[in-house]
Structure formats: structure tokens, C-alpha cells
Amino acid sequence: MPPRSSTALRLWNSRGFLYFNPGYLRPFSLVPSIASTAIAPHFSSSPRRRLNCPQSLLSRCWSPHSLPRSTFAPFSAAAVTMGSIERITEHLEKPELDDRSYRVIRLANKLEALLVHDPETDKASASVNVNVGNFSDADDMPGMAHAVEHLLFMGTKKFPKENAYNQYLASHSGSSNAYTAATETNYFFEVSATADSGDGKPNGQSLTNGATNGSANGSTDDSTDGSTNGTTNGTTNGADALAESDTSEPSSPLYGALDRFAQFFVSPLFLESTLDRELRAVDSENKKNLQSDLWRLMQLNKSLSNPGHPYHHFSTGNLKTLKEDPQQRGLEVRSEFIKFYEKHYSANRMRLCVLGRESLDELEKWVEELFSEVENKDLPQNRWDDAQPWRDEDLGIQIFAKPVMDTRSLDIYFPFLDEETLYEYQPSRYISHLIGHEGPGSILAYIKAKGWANGLSAGVMPICPGSAAFTISIRLTKEGLQQYREVAKVVFQYIAMLKEREPQQWVFDEMKNLAEVEFRFKQKSPASRFTSRLSSVMQKPLPREWLLSGSLLRKFDPDLIKEALSYLQPDNFRLIIVSQEYPGDWDSKEKWYGTEYKVGKIPQDFMADIRKALTTTPETRLSELHMPHKNEFVPTRLSVEKKEVSEPAKTPKLIRHDDHVRLWFKKDDRFWVPKGTVHITLRNPLAWATPANLVKSKLYCELVKDALVEYSYDAELAGLDYHLSASVFGLDVSVGGYNDKMAVLLEKVFTSMRDLAVDPNRFHIIKERLSRGYRNAEYQQPFYQVGDYTRYLTSEKTWINEQYAAELEHIEPGDIANFFPQLLSQNHIEVLAHGNLYKEDALKMTDVVENILHSRPLPQSQWHVRRNIIIPPGSNYVYERTLRDPANINHCIEYYVYVGSITDDVLRAKLLLFAQMTDEPAFDQLRSKEQLGYVVWSGARYSATTIGYRVIIQSERTAEYLESRIDNFLIQTGETLNNMSDKDFEGHKRSVINKRLEKLKNLSSETSRFWSHIGSEYFDFLQNESDAANVRALTKADIVDFYKRLIDPRSPTRGKLSIYLNAQGGAQPKVEGKDQQSRLVSLLGKQLESAGFAVDTSRLGSVFESAGLSGSNTDQILAVLKEFLHSEMSLSEQQTAPVLEQARQNIGLHVKQLGIETADQDSKPVTDGVVKSKTDRKVTYITNVPEFKARMVMSAGPIAVTDISEFEDFDAKL
């Protein structure tokens, strides 16, 4: 389904190409705030630091530019023609443990496909990547490619129902998505790999094909991010979907999905009835990003580029660019989208990747059958060789940009060598590795020591075939902002050093070795992520044998590295200086996002300093700048003792359990990679005792990490990293990656924790960074923020950012120096050691921690106990906050319904099933049909001790209005449940079971599962299996009863809490008189046509004009419509009744978004803080949170569901 689509960004850092999709909402994480890491949202220099943004997805891939087959390097495997299919190769370089089979084919229509046979996968998937993106938009209609991507989901000639595709996926535990980038559009889906359910039962054994993955996993308040991922892909009417199936087609869900998917590229309908809705979805997506600095600064750079190059384009599009402006020019917008599709979509521009359990021959047969219909127009590769993104006048300039958030950065952009055909050499990786290094002798080490910077990243940014940019981004401190010229001079001095020295073979060999190790032990990723990435990689001119291994470095060419370095010149760059403070006299506004900026030529004296820096010699250059030393963390012991087991162990064992330590251990018996993870919690309630203590704990962690940067960077480059953070338990430490030198890093981390010397200069820099993080959290998108407040209100002991910020002001270096020894002096140590480790390794590393800390045991009676508030039956609470950002136009609601205890297995199963059943309907109704906003999510919410059901919407509509629509949806859900067929109900059950029993994909996923259950303190390692069993036993009557008691807004036993985040501005523009009437008539006319009635809309308009209904209420409008149906259309009472009911719903849903006003909308009678909702339930507004919590009953704390002594195995030979 297209709503989760978005435009995309790409960046190369020192470790490889990063694909970043900043608006990608499938699935999105509802993170509490960036303040938890105190890192501003800029590209990072360190692999362990990630952008906290919506659903940001980061994964390695290649830039999507195709070249003709003739450009592919010859390989030993010759192409073989089989009938109308050309088999290119089956011999792909693949990781050591890869058990898949591969085949690359080309159909007669020149569509190229990668077929993947995976005998063990439980998810099948496919992706089509089309070599067209927003660079191909018409100059006067930006966003066309993005809009077409949305519209392809809305029905095809063979499957004309607008949601036929998603209904089919839903009925087979599937999901779908798409994204639009500069030169590619990528579509992908996944479904169950077989017609069997996850528990091995085929169709007919109590469970039939069901729904898609969705909210089955719910979310957890006490996880690192505050809540886990949920998707909006869910279940629709399975019977309708199955009815569309051809009974003669293969039983594999993959075949049916491919059949429907292929039609996107054969005969899409561009349904008129969906056009306005999808354009509004694009508009809502754009509005979601308007206050995002990531999007704003990206577009500013583009808008100040060459207008003759498509890099200059506004990529997302909005209602004005895609509908209003074209219509004013006399264009028929639907025709324009069809023309775009017909002009740019061609089989020879498409790359297909299909993954399934079926044999390669079977997959080949299906692909030929279903995709040979795609028309080949023999279109050339999209190239823009006649222009460059930046002209001479666009270089040698400095741009001062004012961000929304309080961030400071210096970004340097160099037009750069096009590396598209240099896949064997990739010279930019050598350069970015050195410029982006964080160890001794690096740029960052020097400017950080001077107090000027907190981070640096460097790498190539592919733009399009023929064009690229090398970027250096530096996160500045307050002093660094004042000294940005000095910072730039240091960068150019380092570049001078690189140019002066011959490229070093040992540096390349080290990088090459690390890339080979990483590829050799690469593990599987989720099915749709794999196919989406590979279909994009296929657009590269790589030899097809290298599709999986394109990240490998193969040849060292010092001359090519020198050529690449020659682009880093004083006459070939531009600067962007980002700050809310400097210079203060911004005099321009960017067109699309409104970013304030000031641009001018780099002053002559500054440019002279840069030229001088670039000509420094070893004698005149800063002595602190030098090449990095050899990386001592490169793994050398990569052996894995593989022992076959009948079934992998499902739980870790306790190999030590005493008053001081609880050590959980499992040697990997499933994935067989030379990697491991050690998670350690130093339990001490002092860390979470007060907001001030938590802030001190965070500052302490940041200071330790700051002190370790130069040491730990080499480890990160070598695939071994660590994490340190404060949590509800105390301090959390983890070390993970290649196990060869894991113990060395672990010892260094704990030694640094013990021996930290608080440097006042670094303290104040980190304190200021954390302070900005707390402030910036309040400028995040509202749906990011709302979970913080739900957690604050439903947890016994949790605080919010403003409370942390207030305490931060009063903390000084001496406070940290006095505080952290108390954290380390007494604690309980909880450890999980998992992976390619032996029992002796786990015990020794635990001994290392004890010997370093010499801490006293913390009695269990002093452990912090987490508890949650029980929302009382019959309650209807609302908590309101006004959002801080005055320019934000979006409101947000989290509508939370309390369900019960997290330990009630049957109740938890009912919630999972109900969440699954309402997932797609909620999205379809509230997002697609009612167009309330781009962000709509529903699902289970897991807290530490309780569970509930929630709906989150971000919208230009008020939170109170959103609540009324959620109420209405949930009321209608009761009728849906009552009318649901047994087949559909069993299908929903199957979908949840599939999700709960989904196979683990890699070692880290199993580690995360174990640690999650240990951290929950319930130790319910088999929860997924028990959930599946409990769901299997549920009946429809069980869910109806569950709904009536706990979910139905009219239920007297339901407890509900809503969080309203209210925007300061963004009122809907009012539409005057005749325009209102015209829109209303259009709305009603479309409804009648969709119901199968031919209607004369001009006559309908005349009737309403005669009635003079301006400002009338809904009943008056319906009375006129009823008279029209009787007198003008001769419909009976029986025929008009359902039409009028649907019209009543449409008026309530759509009039405000169309700018139509009726006398009965959005009224809010208030009396003494209590209002009556449409469900006649009193609303209690929470104005004093401590008092509210004091009145509430608390849940019991966590208690192990299984006596943990049952996990003890002290004498095991492991």
C-alpha cells in the first residue's frame, strides 16, 4: 500500500554506502526523543550512532543507476538462452553460510530478474526497481514520480478493486511498501512462503490463510526506544481477496502475489476515484516533513543548485504542485500521471528480485508467465550528462542556514568523481575512511581536543549517473561555530597531507580485509528488505556474479585515488553553516520548506587561508595530524565450532547465580558465525531514583563514551562495538561483534568507567549538547513525542524531558565525579553471554567486570521494582499539551485503552488477535478513506507490567476531532466483528500465529529476544510459542466479548486515556460560499456513482443552490439529498436508506478537510473541565499528573513466570 512510501536519500560514509529514507514509515519506531542520546539529527561519523527519525531505515546498498548490458564486465559464466529467456548466471559470489541458490535471467522484453531459492525461508518476497525517480519529474509538476508510485497501488485492469493487491497480501500474512528516490522507484512485498501456517498446519486444519503482519508484537514502554515497531499493513476482507484468486493458479501465496504485483507494470488503472485521496496522502506526507531539518537542509542545498539540473527539484510534491497549479493551467492531472507512466515505465528499465521456497525453475516459469506482459519500450537509461548539479557560480559560496532545532554543523560539498563504473576500486572509500577517521591523528581527534566539534562524517553522495558529491559534515560545538573557519582550515590541511603522501597499500589492504570478513559472515536479513535492496543493486553496472558482493574492495589503484583527491580543491566546494545563532541576519527563505538562509561568496581572506592550508608541508602543518595506525582489532580468529543439534535451544542457561551475579549463557547453535554479544546490567536504583540522578547517569555515560572515542573507533571499523547507557535498572553495557577481541574491548570499557577523570571542558560541551537534545526533543514531529507522555502518565516512576532539563542546569563536573563511584560501588550484575563463546569465556569476562569494579552485592530487597498504573473501568481521561514548535501545523493523539496484566496469557492473546484484526481496517478507514493524516498506527502497547490497545494519529485536524473518529471506528468495529465470517476469523488467527512463530533471521535477533525477556524480569523465553497456542484456542465469541468489555467506547467497564498534543497554529483555510457547495456536490456525486447510480451532478448542484444550504447542519443537507433521490432519481425508500447513511458518514468525515463548514461540526461545550462526547461518556481532564498518579491503583511488579532455578546449569560442559 502506497501510504508508507516516500522519497529517499543516500550517503556514503567511511564504512560503506548508507541508504537512508527519512520519511519512510514502514515500519516506524515511536521513539521517546533524541534527548536519550543527546545527538543532533545529522549524519554521523560512527557506525554505532544512528539518526533518530521516523522510521528511519539504514542499510547498505548501491546507487540505483542502470547501464546497458554491454557495460557489464565479462565473467566466466556464459549466458545461456532457454527459449525466450536468457539465463545470465547462476554463480553469484555469496557469504560462506548462504544456503540459497541464485539465478539471473533476462526475459524477451529485456526485464532482468534475480531469482532466489531459499529452502528454509518462512517469508517469500519480490521487488521491482524502476529506473525512474523524481529527477524525471516535469519542472512545473514536482512530485510526479512520487504520486505515480502511490497511484499504482490503486487497482489494475486484471484486479480492478483499488485494494485487491493489499487484500490478497493481507489474506496471506503479507505486507507491502514502496519508495521514490532520485533515479529509481522501488516497489516490494512479502507474504507467507507456503500455504501452511507458522505452526506447520496447512489450510483446512482449523486455520486458513489469514492476515498480514501488523501489530502482533505490540510495543514496550521500557525498551530502549520506548516502543517497538508496528506496521500499518494489516488485514482486510480475506474472503474478498480469496474470491479474486484464480482457483487454477498454484497454491503458493507467492504466485498470487506476483500475479497482482506484475499488473502494476502491465495495466494500472489510475482510478479517478482514488486520485484526490492519494494526492492528499502525498500532501500530508510532505507536511509531515516541513519542520524536519533533515528535509529542510537537504532541499536548501538542492534549491541553491543549478536550476537546469534535476537535482534542483522539489522531490516529494504536494497538493499545490500536483493538482491545484496544473488544474489552473488547464491540465487534466490524471492524464498527466498516465503520460508520465507511459513515458518512463518500460520493461528494460526494470529490475526484479524474487525470493521463495520454490525451485529456481519454478520461479523462472512464474516470472516469465507474469512479467513477460510488461511492455518494453527500449527506453535509454536516464542520464543527465548535459548539466552538472553545481555550476561555477554555485561553488565558492557559503550558505548560512537557520534550523528548526538547535543544531550546529559545518558541511563541505565537493563535486566529485563519478564512481558508477569503478566498483572494483571505489576510491572514495579510501578517502572517506581517512577523512572520517576518529582515531589519533584524525581531523576529529584534533578539533574535538580543541573543543570545536563533537562528530564528523565523510563520504560520497551519488546524485545521478555522471554526478556525485563528496561531503564532509562536522557537528560543531558552540565555540566551534565561532571558529568554523579554523575548522575548515584543519580539514584542508589534512587533505593536503593525503595529497602529499602516496596512497598507502596497507590502508587499502586493511579496508579490503575487513570488507571480506564482513561479507564472508554476512547473515540473512528480512525477506522484503533483501529483495528491495537487491533490485536496486541490479541497476548498477556490476557483473551479475557480484550482485551480493558489490561492497567488496578488489583492486588498489593509487593513481585513481589521486585523481579522486584532485576534486578536493579550493575552487570546487561550497560550505553550509547551520546554526540558530549565527549570523542572525538571514535574509532569504527557501521556497518549499521556508528555511531561512543567507548566501554569499566565501570572503577572499577566508579563501586565501584555505588555499594556504592546502599547500602546507609537513613542517608547516599541524603536527597533530597524521595517518592512522594499523588497526589492532582486525579479527584473526574466525573459527566456529559447529555441532549439529536436533533442535536449537530456545532458552539460555544460568551458569552462575549468586547474590552478586546472575550469568545467562548460550553458545550459538543456530547461526554459526564468529560473533557474540555480552549484555551487562549494573543494577543500582540510585540511577533512577530522581530526575537529577538520571541526568547525572546520562552525563556520566556520555563522558565515558567521549573518552573512549579514539580507542573504540578501530574496534567499530573491525566489526566490534560497545554501548553504554543509563536505564531504569542502573547502567547498561554491551559489547558485540566478532568475538576474537571482545574481551579486550570489554576490559577497556569497564576500566574507563572506573577510572573516569571528569574533564571540565568536555563536561560543559557534553552538558550543552544534552541540554540542546532536551530542547530539540520538543521540536520533533508530534508522533515522536506522544509516547513520552503516555509513558509518563502510565508508569509509576517516569519523568519527561522538561523535568530532566530543569535538573541539568544545576549539575556541575564535581557532581559527576562524586556521583558515579556510588553507581559502581554497589550493584547486582546481570549478564547475558551469547554467540560464538564458550562457558569459560562468559565466566572469565564476568570475572573481569567484578575484578575491575570491586563492588558490593546489592540485596534484591533494594532492587527497583517497575509498576504501571491501572486505568480504572469506566474512566475516560484526557491529558493535553501544547506543542512547543510554533510553525508545526500537526496535532497528534495517542488513544490508549487499558486491557490488563501482561502476565495474563489468554488476555494477551486476545489483544494480539484484536490488534491484528483492526490493523488494516483502522489504517484504511482513518488514513485512506478519512484522510486524517499521513501517520496512522494502531496496535498493542506493552508496558512493564500491563498491556493495552492504542491508536496514534498525527493530523492537521484537532486531537479532539481525531478522538471522535477513533471512537466511531471502534464502534463500527463491533459490527464488523459480528459480521465476520469464520474463514476470515481463522485467517486473522493464522496471521498472528505466523508472526509469533516467525523464524529468527540472525544471531543478533536471538540475542535481543533473550535480553528482552531477561530485562522484563518475567523470564518468559517461550512467550511466542505460548501466545501462538493461546491464539489458536480463541473463538470469535472470545474476541466479541473482549471487545464489548474492554474496547467498545460505549462499554461501562472500559478504561481509556488519551494524550492530546495540540499544535499552536495550522487552522484549516475556510472555503467560501459557492466553492463549499461545489465541493459538497462533488463529494455526494462521487458517493452515488460508487454506489452504482448514474447521477446528473449539475442537476444535483442546482438543487442544492436552490435550497440555499450555506451553514446548514448535516440533517438539513441530508433532507435535500433525500428529496433529490426520490424526486429526481425515483429511488425507493429502501434504496435511499443506505445511500443516506453513507452520505451522513461522508459529510462527517470529509467536509472539514474540503473546507466545507456545517453548523454542527467541531462544537466543544465545556463545563467545569468535563465535556460530553458522542459516546455520552464523561471526559476527565488531567491537569495535575502527580495527583492523578496518586489516585490510581498500581499493578503488581514483575514476577518470574517460571522459577529461574529451572534454568540453572552450573556444571554444563559448554
From 381, 356, 379, 380, select the one nearest 367 (Cα to Cα).
356
Lowest mean pLDDT among 43-57, 650-664, 674-688: 43-57
Lowest mean pLDDT among 788-792, 793-797, 978-982, 1109-1113: 1109-1113
Q: pLDDT band for 1091, please (50, 70, 90 cuts).
A: low
**CA separation (Å) from 556 to 125, 459, 976, 1171?**
37, 18, 64, 73
Q: pLDDT band for 1173, please (50, 70, 90 cuts).
A: very low
Q: pLDDT band for 311, please (50, 70, 90 cuts).
A: very high
Residue that is written with C-alpha cell 569476562 in the block = 845
Q: What pLDDT, on a 0 to 100 scale, did the predictor assign at position 1133?
A: 81
Contact 368, 84 (CB under 8 A): yes
Give the whole-number percent of the chain exceeding pLDDT 70: 84
More reliable by pLDDT, 1063 or 1077:
1063
The CA distance from 459 to 19, in Å, is 13
The beta strands (E) that lie in 559-674 are given as 574-578, 588-589, 596-601, 653-657, 661-667
DSSP 60-127: E--------GGGSPP-SSPPEEETTEEEEES-----TT---EEEEEE-TT--EEEEEE-TT-SEEEEE
| Tens of pLDDT, residues 570-608 | 999 999 999 999 998 999 999 999 999 999 999 999 999
Would you give the end-to-end CA distance of the chain in angstroms?
48
Q: Which amino acid is at 175?
A: S
| Tens of pLDDT, residues 1028-1058 | 999 999 999 999 999 999 999 999 999 999 9
| CATH class belonging to 392-503+556-614 | alpha beta
Q: pLDDT band for 1105, please (50, 70, 90 cuts).
A: confident
Residue that is written with C-alpha cell 520506548 in the block = 226
Q: What pLDDT, on a 0 to 100 scale, did the predictor assign at position 46?
A: 30
Does the pLDDT value for residue 433 go beyond 80? yes
Q: pLDDT band for 1090, please (50, 70, 90 cuts).
A: low
Q: What pLDDT, on a 0 to 100 scale, did the predictor assign at position 621?
A: 96
Q: Residue 401 belongs to what H/E stretch?
A: strand 397-401
| Tens of pLDDT, residues 840-861 | 999 999 999 999 999 999 999 9
Does the pLDDT value for residue 308 go beyond 60? yes
| Tens of pLDDT, residues 62-82 | 232 233 333 333 343 456 766
Question: CA torsion sign, 1078 to 1080 to 1081 to 1087?
Answer: positive
Tell me the three state secondary structure of residue 896: strand
Question: CA torsion sign, 485 to 490 to 491 to 497?
Answer: positive
Does the pLDDT value for residue 503 go beyond 80? yes
Q: What pLDDT, on a 0 to 100 scale, did the predictor assign at position 1169?
A: 33
The CA distance from 1013 to 33, in Å, is 24
Q: What is the 3 state secondary structure string of 1016-1029?
A: HCCCCCCHHHHHHH
Q: What is the mean pLDDT of residues 80-91?
A: 86
Q: What pLDDT, on a 0 to 100 scale, did the predictor assign at position 1176?
A: 64
Q: What pLDDT, on a 0 to 100 scale, did the predictor assign at position 1113?
A: 64
Q: Residue 428 belongs to what H/E stretch?
A: helix 427-435
- The set of cell numbers assigned to 217 is 508484537
The CA distance from 268 to 155, in Å, is 6
Q: What is the 3 state secondary structure string of 1083-1144?
A: HHHHHHHHCCCCCCHHHHHHHHHHHCCCCCCHHHHHHHHHHHHHHCCCCCHHHHHHHHHHHH
Q: What is the mean pLDDT of residues 73-98?
A: 78
Residue that is written with C-alpha cell 462544537 in the block = 1163
Lowest mean pLDDT among 120-134, 506-520, 1098-1112, 1179-1193: 1098-1112
| CATH class belonging to 653-781+798-862 | alpha beta
Instruction: Find residue 834's DSSP bridge partners.
Output: 666, 677
More reliable by pLDDT, 1166 or 663:
663
| Tens of pLDDT, residues 951-964 | 999 999 999 999 99
Does the pLDDT value for residue 56 go beyond 80? no
Q: What phi and psi values does residue 756 have, to the nearest 5 degrees?
A: -55, 125
Q: CB under 8 Å, gap of 24 or more: what pairs does 618-623 form?
A: 618/497, 618/500, 621/493, 621/496, 621/497, 622/446, 622/490, 622/493
More reliable by pLDDT, 94 or 44:
94
Does the pLDDT value for residue 656 go beyond 80? yes
Q: What pLDDT, on a 0 to 100 scale, did the predictor assign at position 1096?
A: 78
Residues that are catalytic? 149
Cis peptide preceding 142, ω within 30 of 0: no
